[in-house]
Chains A and B, each alone.
Chain A
Amino acid sequence: MNPNEFDVIIIGGGITGAGTQRDCAMRGLRTLLVERSDIATGATGRNHGLLHSGARYAVNDAESARECIEENMILRRIAAHCIDETDGLFITLPEDDLGYQQTFVEACQSAGINAEIIDPELARRLEPSVNPELIGAVKVPDGSVDPFRLCAANMLDAKLHGGQVRLYTEVTGFIREGDTVKGIHTRSRQTGEEVDYYAPVIVNAGGIWGHQIAEMAGVHVGMYPAKGALLIFAHRVNNVVINRCRKPSNADILVPGDTVCIIGTTSTRIPFEECNNVAVTPDEVTLLITEGAKLAPSLSSTRILRAYAGVRPLVSADNDPTGRNISRGIVCLDHEERDGLKGFVTITGGKLMTYRLMAEMATDTVCRKLGVDKSCETATTPLPGSEERSYEAVAQKIWEAPSTAQKAAAARMGTSALRIRGNNPYDDALICECEEVSVGEINSAIDRLEVSTLTDLRRRTRIGMGTCQGEFCACRAASLLAKAHGCVEKERADLANFLNERWKGNFPIGWGDTLREAEYTQWVYKHVLGL
């Protein structure tokens, strides 16, 4: 058997690609995933991290709403360690139409979402940071989800089922024979090595970049890049997701996540050329702060940690050249049926929330084409780390009296934290103090989760995501990476890249305490450490 031959190749290491690889691998297929950068670098890692109840879509898009609430309940079971079951509120402010509330609740209920009108006073007690002026509140089963962790867990499980993963590997072309796609040409962005891989089915899960991947294969998928900007605040201001009860608009969702909270988003159509380098403008920052403070007034005096933006992979309905008929729904295209191109499938549209369903649809298509008759089990099989639902129970199993740092590790890693159990007394030393990430957790990520760079490590462990934005943890972790990879020189450059990447999200909001922290960090690296 040629080691470069697989049953299915998946292009794209976002949540859709990782989920599809897991599903395919669990159904016994030999899988390869190729990703031009790291996992979760596109829209997967650049959103709110909201575990939608579906309520936001209930009025305008009943189908998406139903998909969301079903997946919401599934993810609570299979991805417990990636999820924070916070609940959510849809609040009505004096300037909003309270009449919308009834329409909203009815739409939720018909989509199967448990939406409950509560007294504004109760809402203030449930979430003390909420705008006290609110005149109406509806409670829904929203939550928050760590998309990096979710993506890494899917990739890990695919690997545990024999899947192979090539990160930093770019598809440079397709191998075609007549009307059939047989394989891909790839080039490693780290070593420059060029390798061809073969499979009877190739899945395009490239998110917004899926547009170009399809073009490369010779078919057209009409996509519309829509940029969304978000701000991360340095404290977890709210414990319950806060939404506005009105027609979805800009900056009307505030989501708590780990030690921070995130306000967003905006929606701006951008050209494809900008997708690789989206920047947040000062106007967007102002809009997000102003609108965010209407949800939780204390945001106006809370330090902002970062500004960032993602690109939604919106898809126009087929054969609609105007692009007016844009859907946020799932689009699974068998290009053999659609374009007469055999061996090529595109899975796109959708959202983080529905990744598992998208993966199931893509995998069903793959299996049908391969003549494999095996049913999907991803809705019931927990991801690695989520075998136990309570992180406190996990922490208790490992440590007799877990410290807050150990509890934090268990919350991030779930049952995978069992792997770092006290093999080495030095493993408890903290590398990142803001997020309480230990040596053991970092080494475990390096061992299991395909880490090339510090930025990859950040996506796996949250180092550098806290209030100091990587001030000290960056060079501590760089030492560990240098040791693991046996190369200091590369690590020096990696450290510089990491700091640059952190700065990119800091300077758009560079005032007050953020500027203080930046001055300190820049002074220390330049004049004290000599990077």
Chain B
Amino acid sequence: MKHNTVIIGGGLAGLVAGISLQQAGQETAIVSTGQNALHFFSGTFESLQEAPERMNTLFNEAGIRLQYSPGVRLMPLGTFRESALSLEDIGLFTTPKFARKVLIVNFMGYHDFFSSFLAEGLEKQGMQCRIRFLNLPEMDKLEQSPSEMRSVQIARTMDRIWEKVVQEVRVLLKDEDAVVLPQVFGLQDTAVPGRIRQGIPARVVFAGTLPPSVPGIRTQMLLKRRYEVLGGTYLMGDEALSSHVHEGVVHSIVTKNLDNHYLEADNFILATGGFFSKGLRSNPFEITEPVFGLDVVYDADRNAWYDKAFAADQPYMHYGVKTDESLHGIADGKPFKNLYAIGSILGGTRPELGSGAGLAIKSAFAAVDEILRRPAPQDDKGIRQDAKDASLVD
């Protein structure tokens, strides 16, 4: 079967593009390895100053509530970061001092939530803090296994016993006007964070943990569900290996699971992410894009890839594939007619689109608009055989 658009990469950019195209009446498929940057999503859409109406609607329809409130958010190590737009359960404050006294609650034996760092950060802002640990019998099983006390495992348990947490926190609460809890609530049941807020008579703030990010995984699940409800085909656990191209038109791609079948489409969107997600590949001599062999913008001298300071802005993070104005991927200096690159595979090559989650969303909408504006390229019958022989990009 031939799709209108095939999207390679099932993270934030790929899903937003897929949902938008399905809504516009296209038949699409997403090829996803299963891992993507939403698994370590901070919950904040950096570089988006406000939610475009379109984004708000798309997320709302998927069951994801956003909040727009320019100010600061509390980071997991107790610092504050400027932020305007985030998932609803991430606390945004107009000033860092969001309370007078704060109760920080963690679980016994959970090392991925940094209560002492949080307390120090809050105290610096003039808030008094008290740290307490919950010891719930329902978590005994997790505690017994040395590597089970991780965010997702705890979140699965919390989906069942969150009411117990509310009761325990109510008992612990003295005169604090705010409670900080780890972001391990509402993995499956999105209403849980809201219910916890209602159940505790103080301002409830959920602070981040080490990845995997529970709000990120929830976002991924809800967007994927929405995409599938709209009729999209999500090929989970598959990976694009190579492509068939002819005269600047991508005809099909080859994936790991579909063996000898080609995934054909009028348009292709490449949303495979940066280095970690394997959208970009590197060796000591070069940086490449493996599926289409797109041109990559990077420094020829490897010594220029890095800054020696860990925390500095790293040059390699700005490397990405080359595109034209309309986000068409470019190979050997020539843009493809029906291939668009979106999300973090662009790196910093399109600074006007921002970075991180903001870049994912802006570039996804831009590519979708381009696709819907243009008529589908003529399907030249007989290309497949030629392309297979002539220009299999490995």
A residues adjacent to B (C-beta < 8 A): 282, 285-286, 403, 405, 425-426, 428-431, 433, 438-439, 472, 475-476, 478-480, 482-483, 488-489, 491-492, 496, 499-500, 502-504, 507, 510-512, 515-517, 519-520, 522-531
Contacts and interface: CB of A to CB of B under 8 A. Distances in A.
A500 B311 contact: yes
B208 A439 contact: no
Nearest to A289: B284
A512 B282 contact: yes
Contact of A429 (B114, B149, B302): B149
Nearest to B210: A472
B104 to A, nearest CB: 12
A475 B111 CA distance: 9
A429 B109 CA distance: 7
Contacts of A507: 305-306, 308
Contacts of A511: 282-284, 302
Given A516-B276, A529-B76, 14 more contacts: A282-B302, A426-B109, A438-B146, A478-B117, A479-B114, A507-B306, A519-B276, A522-B310, A524-B210, A525-B310, A525-B311, A527-B46, A530-B75, A530-B76
B147 A430 contact: yes
12 contacts: A282-B303, A472-B112, A476-B112, A482-B116, A502-B310, A503-B310, A504-B308, A507-B306, A515-B275, A519-B274, A530-B76, A530-B79
Given A475-B77, A510-B306, A528 B111 contact: no
Contacts of A479: 111, 114-117
A528 B276 contact: no
B356 interface: yes
B365 to A, nearest CB: 22
Name, among A507, A512, A515, A516, the residue most crowded by chain B CB atoms within 10 Å (CB to CB). A515
B275 A519 contact: yes
A426 B143 contact: yes
A518 to B, nearest CB: 8
Given A405-B146, A430-B146, A488-B119, A526 B283 contact: no
Contacts of A530: 75-77, 79-81
B108 interface: yes
Interface of B: 40-42, 46, 75-81, 108-109, 111-112, 114-117, 119-120, 143-144, 146-147, 149, 208, 210-211, 213, 274-276, 278, 281-284, 302-303, 305-306, 308-311, 314, 316-317, 356
A510 B146 contact: no
A524 B40 contact: yes
Nearest to A489: B120
A480 B42 CA distance: 24
A526 B310 CA distance: 10
Contacts of B311: 496, 499-500, 525-526, 531
A519 B117 CA distance: 24
Contacts of A496: 310-311
A525 B310 CA distance: 10
B239 to A, nearest CB: 15
B117 A488 contact: yes
A516 B117 contact: no
What are the nearest 3 A-B pairs in CB distance?
A: A530-B75, A488-B120, A503-B310
Give the interface centre of A426, A523, A528 by most chain B CB atoms within 10 Å: A528
Contact of A529 (B41, B116, B208, B274): B208
A519 B355 CA distance: 14
Contact of B143 (A425, A480, A503, A524): A425
- Residue from B81, B108, B311 having most chain A Cβ neighbours under 10 A: B311
A483 B309 CA distance: 27
Given A502-B310, A519-B276, A524 B211 contact: yes
A274 to B, nearest CB: 16
Interface of B is mostly: loop
Contacts of B210: 472, 475-476, 524, 529
A493 to B, nearest CB: 11
Given A504-B308, A512-B283, A528 B119 contact: no
A334 B149 CA distance: 57
A523 B40 contact: yes
A526 B314 CA distance: 11
A429 B146 contact: yes
Contact of B146 (A428, A502, A525): A428
A510 B305 contact: yes
A393 B52 CA distance: 64
A429 B120 contact: no
A520 B276 contact: yes
A433 B147 contact: yes
Nearest to B274: A519
Contacts of A516: 275-276, 278
B79 to A, nearest CB: 4
A515 B146 contact: no
Contact of A528 (B78, B211, B314): B211
Contact of B117 (A285, A492, A515): A492
B117 A528 contact: no
B111 A515 contact: no
Contacts of A286: 284
Nearest to A439: B111
Contacts of B282: 511-512, 515
B42 A527 contact: yes
B368 to A, nearest CB: 25
A425 B144 CA distance: 8
A472 B212 CA distance: 11
B146 A528 contact: no
A136 to B, nearest CB: 32
B108 A426 contact: yes
Contacts of B143: 425-426, 429
Contact of A510 (B40, B114, B316): B316
A476 B317 CA distance: 26
Contacts of B308: 503-504, 507
A502 B308 CA distance: 11
Contacts of A438: 146
A519 B208 contact: no
B109, B119, B143: most-surrounded residue (chain A CB, <10 A): B109
Given A511-B283, A512-B282, A431 B46 contact: no
Contacts of A491: 117
B146 A519 contact: no
Contacts of A512: 281-283
B146 to A, nearest CB: 4
A479 B77 CA distance: 10
A273 to B, nearest CB: 18
A499 B309 CA distance: 9
Nearest to B216: A528
Given A524-B40, A529-B76, A482 B117 contact: yes
Contacts of A429: 109, 111, 143, 146, 149
A302 to B, nearest CB: 14
B317 A531 contact: no
A513 to B, nearest CB: 9
Contacts of B109: 425-426, 429
Contacts of A520: 40, 276
A496 B356 CA distance: 22
Nearest to A480: B111
Contact of A492 (B76, B77, B146): B77
Contacts of B76: 528-530
Contacts of A472: 112, 210
Contacts of A439: 111
A488 B116 contact: yes
Contacts of B284: 285-286, 511
A140 to B, nearest CB: 34
Residue among A431, A438, A511 facing the most chain B CB atoms (10 A cut-off): A511
Nearest to B37: A523
Contacts of B42: 527-528
A492 B77 CA distance: 8
A428 B210 CA distance: 19
A523 B38 CA distance: 12
A528 B282 CA distance: 24
